Structure 1
Amino acid sequence: MRDGELTWGPLDRAGDRDAVAALAERCHAADGGMPEVTTSRFAADGVTTTGGRTATGVLVAAAAVRPLSPGAAFIGLVDPEHRGRGAGAALLDWGIGTAGPDLTVETEALTAEGERLFASRGLRQVFAEDVMRVDLAADPPAAPLPADLVLHEWTPDLAVRFFTAYEAAFRERPGYPGWPAERWVAWTAGDDEFRPQWSLLAAGPGGDAGFVTSSEGWIVQVGVVPSWRGRGVGGALVTEALRRMRAEGAGHALLDVHVDNPAAHLYRRLGFTTLGRRAKFRR
């Protein structure tokens, strides 16, 4: 691999865990995003890794290729103080050679330099979303629910109605998976960190208007059925979920939103700021 200043070799899954975590913290402090997500990729089953160390043994570049079905996924890290010396290109070329043709390149903190590097290898962006955070030290801003709607907490009996609202809100969105109700409900409520008391359905006399689902520290999904859009339903749902989180001691909340989703403007009005941009690239 290039960058003759570094010594390259596979990472030890257990022994290098702390070094990878420290590198991820340095990278994400500069670029945004969530270092714990990046670090988890290096511990995945079947992962292949490489790293570059300085003469004093400090890990300043690392990459992981993990199997998917089909294909494989690559993620890489270069210390901000060591960029511009070819380490990023060396890692990406190693990933392309290791993974083979069916490769997805992932990043939890997309930068302009990263975009240029990916483009230089013929990779195109196929997915991007912003990870956003709001501080809950103070009450969320007021966002009243329309007067003819009421909120219901998630219960098993209401799960299908939540799904119906989800389907109506998302089926025209890019990337909609088309799951049946049973799969979506299991994915939502089967998470150990799912919080039914923070997951709400907005119901009215003419039918359900929207929903929010939440887990520990996260607004997971928010959807408003088309006939109710533009009437404050989404803001009211998110605000009430945040209020309940704060009442139970949460200090902040996170969410992710597709870059083409206009709901990002709503989240900014509610106090969310962008931590970083998560993206995927393919040939």
Structure 2
Amino acid sequence: MRCAAGRAAPTLRAVTPRWRPLADDDLGAVASLALRCLAVDGGLPLAATEPFLGRRYSGDGVLGRGVRDAGGELIAVAALRAQRADGVRAAVLTGLVDPAHRGRGLGSALLNWGTAAAPAVGERLTVETETLTPAGQEFLRRQGLRRVFAEDVLRFDLAGTPLPSHPLPDGIALVPWRPETAERFFAVYRAAFRERPGFPGWSARRWIDWTSGDDGFRPQWSLLATDPVVRDVGFVTCADGWIVQLGTVPGARGRGLGAALAAAALARMRAAGLTAALLDVNVDNPAGRLYERLGFTVIGRRARFATG
């Protein structure tokens, strides 16, 4: 919700901000504010683009508020939108505070406004941030919010970092995504992830449509690992500049297959001319350490918080 302090802000007295409704033509100013926050706090570059922000700060059913300084620059922004999760209509609050204007009570005012307005949008309040820092997490904790989800965003520099050297285990072959192999990918996905907390339990059709329906989906980089004895044992799906999902079935773990799949996907991305690859991984997933050993670096953290 609030991009937390990364550089020292001037010592300023607390103020009572005058929030004004956001208009659709404010989206460019919101993107400029998001870029200033991203530069200080880190995070997913996509989160500072107008298409991404437009889904959160404008459109039907979105309540948006902003504060401008004396020169007219947008320095804080907040928005509420409805989102259904676990059968409940939640009011999702997101927002940004300019790093140069922190320490003035803007974050608290943002949260107070969202808390008061949330009942008109949803049954419960969820706070989300694309740029969580330790200071931001402490701020939200002091406001009585608990973290219910967090994932790190990692980046691999395809232009400057040597590709990891991880050959496939003996006997393993790779099969690319094709319409006739899509259900085999799904079967491995389900076997790899169904025991994890929060597994959605989607049908094969829903998962396949979600995976292949992305405009950036790259079937030629999405690979199925097959074993001549136990058949399909691992998979990786990719979009333009992203490793979207990677998993191995329980019986195939501990053989370096996950690292080999990541290395194979990265090699295909580099060959296609990409200069960077991104992925996100839950903070409780030990695979995060694997990706860092492969050469990925953490560039930010995304999170959601709830009341109670």
Q: How does the TM-score come out when normalised to structure 2?
A: 0.87
**Contact preservation (8 Å) 2:237, 2:245:** yes
CA deviation after TM superposition for structure 1 residue 220, in Å: 0.3
Equivalence for 1:75: 94
Residue 239 in structure 1 maps to residue 263 in structure 2:
yes
Equivalence for 1:50: 65
**Contact preservation (8 Å) 1:146, 1:231:** yes
2:295 pairs with one of 271, 275, 279: 271
SS in 2 for 1:166: helix
**Contact preservation (8 Å) 1:104, 1:281:** yes
**Identical amino acids, percent of aligned pairs:** 57
SS in 1 for 2:37: helix
Equivalence for 2:79: 64
Q: Deviating runs (4+, > 4 A) in structure 1? A: none
CA distance in 1, matches of 2:159, 2:178: 29
1:190 pairs with one of 198, 213, 230: 213
1:136 pairs with one of 154, 158, 165: 158
Residue 157 in structure 1 maps to residue 180 in structure 2:
yes
CA distance in 2, matches of 1:140, 1:103: 43
**Contact preservation (8 Å) 1:73, 1:103:** yes
Residue 18 in structure 1 maps to residue 15 in structure 2:
no
CA deviation after TM superposition for structure 1 residue 209, in Å: 1.3
Unaligned runs of 5+ in 1: none
Equivalence for 1:203: 226
Residue 262 in structure 1 maps to residue 286 in structure 2:
yes
CA deviation after TM superposition for structure 1 residue 35, in Å: 4.9
- Letter of the aligned partner of 2:156 in structure 1? V
**Contact preservation (8 Å) 1:110, 1:277:** yes
CA distance in 2, matches of 1:99, 1:240: 46
SS in 2 for 1:95: helix
**Contact preservation (8 Å) 2:221, 2:238:** yes
**Contact preservation (8 Å) 1:45, 1:66:** no
Equivalence for 1:220: 244
Equivalence for 1:119: 141
Distance change (3 Å), C-alpha of 1:36 and 1:11: farther
CA deviation after TM superposition for structure 1 residue 3, in Å: 4.7
**Contact preservation (8 Å) 1:129, 1:278:** yes
CA deviation after TM superposition for structure 1 residue 46, in Å: 1.9
**Contact preservation (8 Å) 1:141, 1:270:** yes
**Contact preservation (8 Å) 1:7, 1:55:** no
Residue 109 in structure 1 maps to residue 131 in structure 2:
yes
